[in-house]
Structures are given as C-alpha cells and as structure tokens.
Amino acid sequence: MAFQKLDNPTGWLKFGLFSVGLGQSFAFVLVPPLARDLGLSVVETSSIFAVSAIAWALTSASWGRASDKYGRRNIATIGLIGYSISIIALITPLFLVEKNVLDFVYLLPLLVMGRLINGLIGSATRPAAFAYIADITDRSKRTKKFARLESSFLVGTIMGPMIGGFLFLYSKMLPFYLFAFCGGIAAIGIFLSFPNISPKRSLEKIKSKLSYTDRLVFPFLLLASIFSLCQASLLQSIGFFITDIFSNEKDLPLLISLTFGLLSISTVVSQYIFTDLRPISNNKLLIYGSFLLSISYIQAATASSIALFYLAMIINGMGSGMVRPANSSALSLAQTPDNQGTAAGFLGSVIPIGHILTPLIAMPIYQYNPTYLYYFSSALCFMALFFIIVHPVLRDHEQTSININ
C-alpha cells in the first residue's frame, strides 16, 4: 500500500485506518485462544466482542453527526485515541492474570470494559474519515477514493497477524503496545495536519434533515446489513468449517490462516482493479459484486477439496471488493455535502450488525449443517442482487443525488 506523504491529512487518515486494521485483526486472532486458555468459555469470549459490536452500532451515527458539527479532525483524533487505549486495556488483563498479578474473577469484566472502549470511542474514526474524503473529493472520483481508504484498513488486517505473530515470538505484549502506539501517532498526525472542516449548520438542523428511514439512506443501510451478516458469519465459521470438512488435511491452522489471507488480498486487488485501474459505475459494482458473492457461497458449500474452497474465498473477496466501496460511495453521492458525516455514521452503525446476529442466526444454522450456512448466505446475496436491480434509488442513485445537490 502506497501511503500519501504523511504531512498530507489523507495520508494520516490512511495510516490511522491501517493501524486500526493491525490491532483489530490481531486481537480477533489472539485474544480468544488466550482467554480460553486462562479459563473463559467460548460463550464468554465471544461476548467480549459482541458487546463491543453493539456499542459500535449504537454510537457510530452520533459520531458521524458530531463530525458534521465539530469537524472531521477532532472526531477522527478522538476515535484513534480511543482505539489505542482499548487495545492496551484489552490485552493487559490477560497478561496480569497469566502472571497471577490479577485475580481471575476480574478478567471477563476487564476484557469487556477494554473492548467496550473501542465500541464507544473507537467507532468515531471511520465516519469522520469517510466524511472527510467526501468533503474533498469530486463526485466522479469518490468511489475510487473510498476504495483506497477501505484498502488501508484491509491491508492492516492482512499485516496484523503477520507482524503481530512475528513480534509475539519476542514478547506477548509487544505487538499490542506497538499497534496502540501506531494509532496514537496517527492521532497526533491527524490533529496537527488536518484542516478542521465542518459544515456550517446547527446540530438540530442536521438531525431534522436525515434519519435511518430516509429514502436516500435506508436502501444502502439494508444492503450493508445483509453483506455484514454474510461476511461476519463467513469469518466466524471459516476455522470451524475447514476443521470439520477438511479434517484429513495437514497443518490446519496454517490452512485457516492462508484462507484469511487469500480473502483479504483478493478484496484489496478487486477494489484496485474495479474502482481504480478499470473503474465501473457503482450500480454495476453492486450488481456484479452481489452475484459473485452469491456464487462464492455456493462454491464454498460444495467444495470437495481445500483448493476449491480457496477458489470460493477468492471469488468472495472479489465480490466484497466491489460491493463495499460501491455502497459507501453510492450512499455518499445521494446526500448533500453537509450530511456526509451523518450518513457515514449511519453506515458505520450497521456494519457491526453481522457480528451481533451471527451467534443468534448463523451459528445455529452451522451447528445443524455447516453447508446450510453458506447456502443461506448465498440466498441473502441473491435477494440483495434482486433488490439492487429493482429498487429505484439503487438503480438511479446517481441521478437522484445530482438532483438534490
């Protein structure tokens, strides 16, 4: 990933999201097994992340509105500081209990509190970042710029387990403190270099203008919710699926790690090809991406070898690389300039829905039959495809957004 010069606000934003990706992915990989080894159950461990997801969903929209009123710089900085604190607060209790400095009874509440900081405060960065890009980007280039910003986070999620795993060999706490340090540096860089742009409108006026049910908001949020559920259920089931279906394969942990790598890399490559190198319209990105996602889940369910499952993950990544920036850009283009932060906050609030619903919907389906989960996700993506084709706002969002601006 080529960052812009770090005296450039956009470069600092990308570095900030990259830092968040580093810590988030490594926390998802390492915290559950560490917590389980210390005595927490699988349900207790999953509740740590579920609480954070709920907090994120409840606060993201408010942070988006705050960025409209108080400026992108201030809110993005607060979010990165919250992320950095949360990484340290999440990992420190684990090592204190491991060294018998802290009683085990305090472990779960402290882990929940540490992760809760990320949900309550760390959720501020994303809506402020995307709203800032919308502020400074021409309409014709918005999808490409959104994709590049999204890629910064995705590259961080790829590099997190790699860098963290290497540093973990030297010190268990080093990678977490390093990733938190990167977030703090990004916060300082944003605060010092960022123009504190804020639309000149009162907060009351903003609230009366836009809501979740607005006809130019709800269709995009519904799509984001569907894709969130499908992606979250995939991410949380990959390890189980490979272990259950391909149990005869050697080095299962390596195969699982490779699966995540292929999924993330294909997403980044897809974003670059279809939004930068050979850009196509948002509507076509949503249609093609939804179709690829639907096909990928069928391919995963019917895969008779690990190689065919890898192919399914590559197709899935290609589809995700299309729909994610296209949906974000389409929502942004449908809004007036002074509602960009609010719209980005709304979108950020539905992104965690998948992680909230997966234990309630996806995992019970998986327990009944692992392949049924992927058929279910394929059906959801097919319904999303039909919705994109027939819904007038999604079909004609470019014309709609031009008319309201």
340-360 per-residue burial string, b: 16 or more CB within 10 A, e: under 16: bbbbbbbbbbbbbbbbbbbbe
Rg (CA), the chain: 20
Predicted local distance difference test score (pLDDT) of residue 85: 95
In angstroms, the CA 39 to CA 245 distance is: 28
- Specify whether the CB–CB gap between 55 and 123 falls below 8 A: yes
Could you give the maximum distance between any two Cα atoms of the chain, in Å? Answer: 64
What average pLDDT values come out for the chain (405 residues) when binned by 10 residues? 57 91 80 79 75 88 88 92 94 90 90 92 90 83 80 80 78 88 94 65 49 86 93 82 84 76 86 82 92 97 93 94 88 81 84 82 87 96 95 68 40
Q: Which tokens is 264 given?
A: 């993330």
Q: Architecture of domain 206-405 in CATH?
A: Up-down Bundle (1.20)
Name the residue ranges covered by the structural domains of the chain: 8-194, 206-405
Give the three-class secondary structure for 196: coil
Could you please state the CATH topology (level 3) that the domain comprising 8-194 is classified under: Growth Hormone; Chain: A; (1.20.1250)
Q: Which tokens is 31 given?
A: 């915290």
- Specify whether the CB–CB gap between 199 and 310 falls below 8 A: no
Predicted local distance difference test score (pLDDT) of residue 390: 92
Predicted local distance difference test score (pLDDT) of residue 312: 96
Angle at 88 (CA atoms; ends 86, 91), nearest 5 degrees: 105
In angstroms, the CA 322 to CA 307 distance is: 23
In angstroms, the CA 96 to CA 85 distance is: 17
246-277 per-residue burial string, b: 16 or more CB within 10 A, e: under 16: beeeeeeeebbbebbebbbbbbbbbbbbbbbe
206-405 has the same fold as 8-194:
yes
pTM: 0.77
In angstroms, the CA 43 to CA 49 distance is: 10
Q: Which tokens is 379 given?
A: 């059906």
Predicted local distance difference test score (pLDDT) of residue 75: 93
Q: Which tokens is 32 given?
A: 């559950």
In angstroms, the CA 273 to CA 318 distance is: 10
